[in-house]
């Protein structure tokens, strides 16, 4: 059974500083997705990582995938308040017919 | 551009009542999904439909049924609601399940008393 772990589950960030959050998964996969959810809202797609070594950047966020280590990182550069949200990674297990499995999410809070 | 539309937005049921959550997408997507979100649990897959005419169980299918009415619509039915089914339900769709992200609806907040 595929397990997806995110840590930490909550992170208080100071404005202007850099941070990294992690997503680990337990079985073979070469497809990983990052989503953002604002409180009380739906999920929106941030990044789609489809191969080992994939790196995607959007604004202050950069995501990467290491399929050998079964690890994805989301790096935050110079945190700003607008980045406060919950971030989910989701993994598509190879050959499992798209039963996309989500982590429990990391809630980021940016303070002045 | 509506995307994925879910109805209703909110619902309160008594234990034992039944209801159907509706989901429709206008993006000509092939695959559709139902997830539930509970505090601290992330999203858990209830059922999915890889293409019109097919449905499969996800991680937590007990107590639910689904119907892929056509390519646009995928409904979730609770036959006899239980308090454990209190949750936020999200419908999602994708064009190509191997490379495309999911597009989510705005969710249905269901409370079972």
Best of A33, A94, A100 to disrupt the B interface (most B CBs within 10 Å) is: A100
Q: Is the pLDDT of residue A97 over 60?
A: no
Contact status, residue A99 vs residue A3, Cβ threshold 8 Å: no
Tell me whether residues B48 and A99 touch, CB distance under 8 A.
Answer: yes
Tell me the three state secondary structure of residue B84.
helix
Contact status, residue B20 vs residue B35, Cβ threshold 8 Å: no
Contact status, residue B87 vs residue B60, Cβ threshold 8 Å: no
Tens of pLDDT, residue by residue over B3-40, are 999 999 999 999 999 999 999 999 999 999 999 999 88
Tens of pLDDT, residue by residue over B83-98, are 999 999 999 999 887 7
Measured CA to CA, the distance from residue A26 to residue A70 in angstroms comes to 7
* pLDDT grade for B77, boundaries at 50, 70 and 90: very high
Give the pLDDT mean for A31-52.
94
Q: Is B103 on the interface with A (CB under 8 A)?
A: yes
Measured CA to CA, the distance from residue B93 to residue B72 in angstroms comes to 10
Tell me whether residues B97 and A98 touch, CB distance under 8 A.
Answer: yes
Chain A residues closer than 8 Å to B40 by CB: 104
Report the percentage of chain A scoring pLDDT > 70.
Answer: 96
Q: Is the pLDDT of residue A14 over 70?
A: yes
Q: Quote the distance between the C-alpha of residue A49 and its chain's center.
A: 10
Q: Which has the closest alpha carbon to A49: B3, B23, B101?
A: B101
């Amino acid at each position: 059974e595929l397990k997806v772990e995110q840590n930490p589950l909550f992170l208080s960030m100071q404005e202007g500083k850099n941070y990294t959050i992690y997503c680990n998964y337990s079985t073979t996969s070469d497809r990983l997705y990052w989503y953002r959810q604002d409180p009380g809202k739906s999920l929106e797609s941030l990044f789609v990582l489809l191969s080992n070594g994939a790196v995607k950047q959007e604004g202050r966020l950069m995501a990467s995938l290491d399929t050998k280590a079964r690890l994805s990182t989301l790096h935050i550069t110079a945190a700003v308040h607008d980045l406060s949200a919950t971030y989910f990674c989701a993994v598509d297990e190879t050959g499992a017919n798209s039963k996309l499995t989500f982590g429990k999410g990391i809630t980021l809070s940016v303070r002045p | 551009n509506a995307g994925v539309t879910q109805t209703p937005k909110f619902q309160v049921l008594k234990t034992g009542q039944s209801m159907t959550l509706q989901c429709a997408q206008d993006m000509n997507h092939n695959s559709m999904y139902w997830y539930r979100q509970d505090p601290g649990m992330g999203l858990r897959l209830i059922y999915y439909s890889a293409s019109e005419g097919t449905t499969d169980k996800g991680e937590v299918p007990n107590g639910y049924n689904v119907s892929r009415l056509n390519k646009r619509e995928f409904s979730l039915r609770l036959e006899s609601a239980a308090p454990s089914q209190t949750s936020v339900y999200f419908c999602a769709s994708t064009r190509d399940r191997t490379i495309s992200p999911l597009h989510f609806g705005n969710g249905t907040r269901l409370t079972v008393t």
